[in-house]
Amino acid sequence: MSPEAVHTYSPALAHQFDDAGQQKEAATLGMWVFLVTEVLFFGGLFVTYLVYRNWYPGAFTAASHEMIVWAGTTNTFVLITSSLTMALAVHAAQLGNRRLLMTFLIITMALGCVFLGIKAFEYYSEYVEHHVPGMGFQFEAEHFQHAQLFFSLYFMMTGLHALHMIIGLGIMSVMLWWSYRGVITPEYTNPIEISGLYWHFVDIVWIFLFPLLYLIGRHVHG
């Protein structure tokens, strides 16, 4: 530790870092490296989607028409709003406003729950309409086989995304607890910031899922 770093020492600073700035950069960088693996994790599914959509455009268009557009659109608005409240939570943490930080974390989590609720409603509707592959799947004969590819990818991609939302809610619960306990101070906002990075990433995945799954060839039948 350099002599000048001693002055910036705080209980929140781990001993292996020179100062809070270095600690913050390490935390941010570490989270981004994890997010790179996440980008490629979801990337594999997006590429699979592209290949099959390219092979069976008719079946994908027909299957996409069975999606509940208002639900997908509403969920997109819900998620970008939750990203805003997450960004405002980080802002409140930076200013040391603990009450506001906790309020924004709670709103973010509530919006996450609204998203999952709407998603659950959609899954239920698709189950009732026999659109779940392997569970008495029914579809117009022409696209019967390849529509299952679309629905398999739909459930895989949105399911994996929903799992990330649930993990995000778990992370935010811990952040809420830490904020309540006073672990988060204006000098130590790293946990809130890198949890925010994760939350925003999950939002970005949905930004791509929404048009690709819900809006294919909507102009054909409205």
Partner 1 sequence: MAEHILPKRTYYTIFLILAFCTYLTWQVAYFDLGPFNTIAALAIAVFKATLVVLFFMHVRYSTRLTWAVVIGSVFWLGILLVLTMSDYLSRGWIPQS
C-beta of 110 vs 137, nearer to partner 1 = 110
Among candidate residues 91, 149, 159, 95, the one with its CA nearest the CA of residue 123? 159
Closest distance of CB 84 from partner 1, Å: 4
In angstroms, give the least distance from the CB of 127 to partner 1: 25
Least CB distance to partner 1 at residue 156 (A): 17
Taking each helix axis from N to C end, the angle separating 69-95 and 190-214, rounded to the nearest 10 degrees, works out to 170
- Positions touching partner 1 (CB under 8 A) are 21-22, 24-25, 28-29, 32-33, 35-36, 39-40, 43-44, 46-47, 50-51, 54-55, 69, 73, 76-77, 80-81, 83-84, 86-88, 91, 94-95, 193, 196-197, 200-201, 203-204, 207-208, 210-212, 215-220, 222
- Grouping H, G, I as helix, E, B as strand and the rest as coil, residue 182 is coil
Nearest to partner 1 of 171, 204 (CB atom): 204
CB 137 within 8 A of CB 52: no
* Angle, helices 20-55/190-214, rounded to nearest 10 degrees: 10
Whose Cβ is closer to partner 1: residue 96's or residue 138's?
A: 96
Q: Which residues of 147-160 are buried (b: 16+ CB within 10 A; e: fewer)?
A: bbbbbbbbbebbee
